Amino acid sequence: MKLPVNVYICEVAPRDGFQAETNWIPTDKKVDIIRALATTGVSQIEVTSFVHPKAIPQLKDAEEVVARVRDLTGVTFRALVPNVKGAQRAIAVGIKKLKLMLSATDSHSLSNANCKVEDAMRGFDPIVNVANQNGVHVSGSISVAFGCPFEGVVPVDQIVRIVSSYREMGIGEISLADTTGMANSKQVYEYLDVLRSEFPDVLFSMHLHNTRGMALANAFAALQKGVTHFDASIAGLGGCPYAPGATGNVATEDLVHSFEEMGVQTGVHLDTLLAVARQVKDVLGHDGGSFLLRAGTCSQLYSLPTHQEKLNDEGVVRDGLSDFTWRA
């Protein structure tokens, strides 16, 4: 089995995770969490989205959040922008990497962006132009790249067409998003086989949601096809407000743990990451589905019990059992 030696993790909770929260997260708390995430070793943080406040009220403080973390070094800040106005706002506050989001199907595009796929793609030209004029990098993404909640399985030919359009715009970094967790490992492997053959110069990354518990398996399939860039969200937060049934992203701590257990280096300090995940859960009052927050890492072992608990015929405990305790 051939797996990459190193992978790179982009933390997306400050955008994808927070946008799904109904209760307002104070700006101070967002800033604290981003600063904590920057200490974990993740190479990139998707820090916010410059959308209209009425569309995503939770991210109405985008400028203030970015301004208050701009002093951090050693991590790249990326922001999602839906239009040229959003790009201008992001660039004005110092963002050096923009991400475009395009749906793979007209149905999802109408729900998410109120226009069809081709119309949305045409709207990217002015964004790319203003980014080029300011020396700002632009990456692309494809939502519902494997399955659409309105149309079902998305043919790989449709993804090839969209990637071709991105390439014509000069965009060479593209994220494949399983927005509602409809992908399976065989499909991911086969789609990447086609895409990496057709576009050997494109840097493909994976953005996986764990709606049906397939995210880690799909990440492993992508690893086997040589993908080394992954999005993930601390504590498994996230979800698209415009996709029925959408749930959280693969938890960053789960993804890092899975990779590191296989000997794939992430550069992320897992203990620090878990501490941040607990902090985020405390702030929000919940997580989005994190295995490690429930079970801990594989290296956390229990002490052996002194003896086994026994019940008599009446179901009464006959012998006591010592408490289980963690040992490193």
**Tens of pLDDT along 137-156?**
999 999 999 999 999 999 99
Q: Locate 317 and state its tokens.
A: 């405990």
Q: Residue 203 pairs with which residues in a beta bridge?
A: 173
Q: What is the mean pLDDT of residues 122-134?
A: 96
Residue 320 lies in a domain: no
Q: What is the mean pLDDT of residues 268-275?
A: 97
Share of the chain above pLDDT 70, in %: 93
Other Cβ atoms closer than 10 A to 152: 10
Per-residue confidence at 325, pLDDT binned at 50, 70, 90? low
Into how many domains does the chain fold? 1
DSSP readout, 259-317? Answer: HHHTT-B----HHHHHHHHHHHHHHHS--S--HHHHH--TT-EEPPPSS--EE-TTS-E
Residue 325 lies in a domain: no
| Catalytically annotated residue among 10, 148, 240, 298 | 240
pLDDT surpasses 60 at 323: no
Domain with residue 170: its CATH number is 3.20.20.70
Nearest partner of 34 among 59, 14, 61, 9, judged by Cα: 14
Global confidence as pTM: 0.91
pLDDT surpasses 70 at 319: no
Q: Residue 79 pairs with which residues in a beta bridge?
A: 48, 98
Name the residue type at position 152.
Answer: G
Residue 69 lies in a domain: yes
> pLDDT at position 313, please?
65
> pLDDT at position 308, please?
67
User: Is 240 one of the annotated active-site residues of the chain?
Assistant: yes
Residue 149 lies in a domain: yes
pLDDT surpasses 80 at 328: no
Residue 316 lies in a domain: no
323 vs 145, residue with greater confidence: 145
Distance of CA 161 to the CA centre of its chain: 24
Name the residue type at position 208.
Answer: L
Structural domain span for residue 231:
8-302
Residue 313 lies in a domain: no
> pLDDT at position 42, please?
97
Say which residues have a Cβ less than 8 Å from residue 222's Cβ, sequence separation at least 6: 188, 189, 192, 206, 230
> pLDDT at position 322, please?
46
> pLDDT at position 326, please?
53
> pLDDT at position 306, please?
74
Residue 317 lies in a domain: no
Per-residue confidence at 311, pLDDT binned at 50, 70, 90? low
